[in-house]
Chains A and B, each alone.
Chain A
Amino acid sequence: MAGELWVAVIVAAAGTLLMRLLPLVWMQRRLAREDGQGGAAAMPRWLGVLGPVMIAAMLGASLVPAAGTLNAWVATIVGGAVTLLVWWRTKSLGWPVVWGVVAFGVVRFLAVTVN
C-alpha cells in the first residue's frame, strides 16, 4: 500500500474515532453542568428519541436478505416471528436469537433441498 493510502486509512480511522468520542465529551460536560438532574433526565428529548429509532432503522435495513429471493424473504419472516415468539416466552437475549437463526436456516435449507 502506497504512503498516501496509509495516510488516508489513518485519517479515516481517526475521524471515525473522533465521531464516536467527541459527542461523549460534549454530553458528559452537559450532564456535569446539569448536576442536579443527572442521568437520562438531563439528556435532550430529541436525543432520547433518536437512540431507539436508530436501532429500529438498523433492524429495518438488516431485514433485507442478501439472497433477495422469495424463499429468503419467507425465511426472514419466519425467523423474525420465531425470534419474537421465543422472546415473548423467555424475555431473554440469547435464546430468541438462536431459535430465530435456526428457523431462518431451516426454511433456507428446505428451499435448497427441494430445488
Chain B
Amino acid sequence: MNDQAISAGGRAWVKGVRDAIPLLGGYIPVAISFGLIANQSGFSSWEAIIISLVIYAGASQFLFVGMVASGAPLWLVVVMTLLINARHLVYAPNLAPWLTGNRWWFWLMHGLTDQVFALAHTRLPALPSSERLGWFTGAMLLAWFSWVGGTALGAFAGQELTGRWPLLNDVMPFALPALFVVLLAPRFTSWLWAAALGCAIVVALLFAANGLPNVAIPVAALLGAAVFFVMQSNTRAEV
C-alpha cells in the first residue's frame, strides 16, 4: 500500500468517526439504561459490559437480561435473542455491492447494527472504494465503543447520572430519529418510494406506540416492501 492510499484510508477513518457522531446521542442514553437495568437484574457491572461488548444488539440485550432475571430457560433466552436479531440478516447483502474484497469486512460485520447499517447504506455508495473500509471501521468502532462505554457508565453510575440529568436522558435519544430522517429524506424520489417508505414509517410507529417495538421493524418493512411491489405491478399493468 503506498503513502497516498494510507493517507486516504486515514482520512476516511476520521470521516467515518465524524459521520457516526449523531449516533452517540441515541446510543449512550440507551446503553446507560442497559447498564443500569442489567445491574438491577442481578448482573455485575463487568458482566453487563461483556454482554454489550460481545452481543452488541440493543433490544435483544434488554430481553436477554430481563428473561434471565425472570428465570426463563436459557435455551429460550438464546432463541428469543436470536429471533429479535434476525432482521440483521438483510443488512450485509444490501451493503455487499459497495464492500471491497478485504477480509477485514467479515470481522467488521460485528458492528453492523440497525443504525450503522442505515448510515452505511447511505454513505458507502457515495465514497470511492479506497475509502470505504476506513470509513466503515471509524464509524463502526465509534458506535461500538460508545455502546460499551455507555453500558459501563450505566452499570457503575447509572442511578446518579439519570437522577442528576433526567431531561438530558430524555432529549439525547432524539438524535436517532433525527438521523433516520436525514438518511431517509433523499430517498423520497417518486410516489412509489414515498408510498412504500411512508407505509413502513406509519406501521412501525403504530406497533411501537402500542408496546410492540420488537416486531415493529420487520413487520413494517415487509408491509412497506409489499406496497412497493403491488404499486409497481399495478403501474406496469396500466401501461
> Which residues of A line the B interface, CB within 8 A?
1, 4-5, 7-13, 15-17, 19-21, 23-28, 31, 38-40, 42-43, 46-67, 72, 75-76, 79-80, 83-84, 87-88, 93-94, 96-98, 100-101, 104-105, 108-109, 112
Contacts and interface: CB of A to CB of B under 8 A. Distances in A.
B181 interface: yes
B94 A50 contact: yes
A47 B90 contact: yes
Nearest to A52: B187
Contacts of B172: 101
Considering the complex of A and B, which 5 residue pairs feature the smallest CB-CB distances, nearest first? A60-B204, A53-B224, A100-B178, A24-B92, A59-B180
Interface residues of B, number: 91
B56 A16 contact: yes
Contact of B109 (A12, A21, A75, A79): A21
Contacts of A8: 64, 68, 74, 77-78
Interface string B182-204: 11110100000100111011111
A19 B85 contact: yes
A58 B200 CA distance: 9
A58 B180 contact: yes
A23 B96 CA distance: 9
Contacts of A64: 205, 208-209, 213
Given A61-B220, A66-B170, A55 B112 contact: no
What does DSSP make chain B's interface, helix, strand, loop or mixed? helix
What does DSSP make chain A's interface, helix, strand, loop or mixed? helix
Contacts of B205: 60-61, 63-64
A27 B201 contact: no
A60 B99 contact: no
A15 B85 contact: yes
A108 B171 contact: yes
Contact of A80 (B94, B118, B181, B229): B181
Given A9-B50, A79-B178, A57 B170 contact: no
- In the complex, which of the residues A15, A48, A51 has the most CB atoms of chain B within 10 Å of its own CB atom? A51
A58 to B, nearest CB: 5
B96 A43 contact: yes
B130 interface: no
B91 A20 contact: yes
A83 to B, nearest CB: 4
Given A4-B74, A51-B94, A61-B207, A9 B228 contact: no
B25 interface: yes
Contacts of B209: 64
A51 B121 contact: yes
